Amino acid sequence: MQVSKNDTLAGLPLIKIRDFLRNCPQGHSITAASAEAHLGLTSTQAQKVLQAIAEAGFIEPKHEEQKGAAPPRYSVTVLGSRLCAARFVKRITRAKANALVAQMLERVTEINGRDELVFRVKRVRAFGSYVSDAPEVGDVDLAVDLEPRHPDRDIIEQLLARADASGKSLNTYMARLNYATLEVQQLLKGRSPYLSIEGGDCPEKFGVLAVDLFSLG
């Protein structure tokens, strides 16, 4: 997601709004009261800020709860979740972005050649500022599709075995199931703060242009 340290929304630094959304417990509603507490606003200011955040697409009203004179409640949208995950890094030139993409594609080849990994990379598409004509980009948004390397084997058994073989402290069943996917995503990212790895259907969710970078033949 393309963001800058200088970006603002409703008169507040966008990074401050990101931190506010990050601090809202998952599953809990966002209210003017929580905005007052976290952002140091008056009640009137908080309502205006929440409206601006909603208009930007980062939160949406919880319509099922809007009854009578109850204060509006909001939940974080998919776009808001991307903002929560965004890192505010210095913009880079297109040449630098192209170099990062080339390195990422080399890692795709390496990943797909490692038989011990549960998943291989099926498709990589770029979207966002990288596919625009902008001379500089904030980051490179990548929509990545993975597929099981051995579809004839029991996928749950593969996921659990890979997680256990990692030697990491994975304290929940879901953490063990998700490990193999996260492993490939992290390998693909290569610790670059400028590569943003998203699900393969992300461009369709946002209705934006996506350009193919890799497709498994």
Instruction: Note the pLDDT tens digit of each residue in 151-160.
Output: 999 999 999 9
99 and 174 fall within a common domain = yes
More confident of the two residues 107 and 134: 107
Structural domain contains residue 104 = yes
Report how many domains make up the chain.
2
More confident of the two residues 29 and 51: 51
Average pLDDT over residues 166-182: 93
Instruction: Give the per-residue pLDDT at 25.
Output: 61
Res. 46 pLDDT band, cuts 50 70 90: very high
pLDDT over 60 at 95, yes or no:
yes
Structural domain contains residue 3 = no
From the number of C-beta atoms within 10 Å of its C-beta (0-12, 13-18, 19+), residue 163 rates as buried
Average pLDDT over residues 69-91: 82
pLDDT averaged over every residue in the chain? 90
Q: Which of 85, 113, 132 corresponds to the end of one domain?
A: 85
Structural domain contains residue 1 = no
150 and 182 fall within a common domain = yes
Q: What range defines the domain where residue 53 resides?
A: 8-85
Among 78-82, 116-120, 207-211, the range with the most confident prediction by mean pLDDT is 116-120
Enter the pTM of the model: 0.71
Task: Please state the three-class secondary structure of the chain as a single string.
Answer: CCCCCCCEECCEEHHHHHHHHHHCCCCCCECHHHHHHHHCCCHHHHHHHHHHHHHCCCEEECHHHCCCCCCCCEEECHHHHHHHHCCCCCCEEHHHHHHHHHHHHHHHHHHHCCCCCCEEEEEEEEEHHHHCCCCEECCEEEEEEEEECCCCCCHHHHHHHHHHHCCCCCCCHHHHHHHHHHHHHHHHHCCCCCEEEEECCHHHHHCCCEEEEEECC
CATH classification at residue 68 = 1.10.10.10
Structural domain contains residue 181 = yes
Tell me which residue has tokens 């390397």.
149
Res. 217 pLDDT band, cuts 50 70 90: confident
Instruction: Give the per-residue pLDDT at 69.
Output: 56
Q: Distance of CA 177 to CAs 14, 171, 202, Å?
A: 34, 11, 22
Q: Which of 34, 54, 85 corresponds to the end of one domain?
A: 85
Instruction: Give the per-residue pLDDT at 84.
Output: 84
135 and 30 fall within a common domain = no
143 and 200 fall within a common domain = yes
Across 13-22, 48-57, 76-85, least confident range? 76-85
